[in-house]
Amino acid sequence: MLETYLDSDVTVLRSNGTDAWGEPLPRTAETLKARINMKTRRIRTNGGREVTSLAVIWLADGSVTHEDRLVVRGQEWSIVAIEEVRDFETRLIKVWIG
């Protein structure tokens, strides 16, 4: 039901870990349906720091981690916070970027 509101596409650049020398491996890209809400908000990160998030992105049934990056409207963003939202039929992920 909520998936009808996912009217935009965002690209998730998935982290593939590091090589033997500790250098990051090339990221893989995946396009997902999303709802973009450009709204500034103060968020607490996993480390407890308070940061400013510039947008909240609702993603349909895709798993993301804090190491991944999002490309929204042609600009690459880091993930500040992740929240899983469930209703009776769907699983959505709410991601704050900054």
Q: Go through the domains of the chain in sequence order and give each one's CATH number.
A: 2-97 (2.40.10.270)
Beta carbons within 8 Å of 33's beta carbon, 6+ residues apart: 3, 6, 7, 8, 9, 59, 60
pLDDT digits (tens, 9 = 90+) for 47-74: 888 999 999 999 886 789 888 999 999 9
Q: Whole-prediction pTM value? A: 0.81
pLDDT tens, position by position, 2-33:
677 888 899 999 888 888 898 888 888 999 88
| Residue range 73-84, pLDDT digits in tens | 999 999 999 988
Q: Cβ atoms within 10 A of the Cβ of 15, count?
A: 16
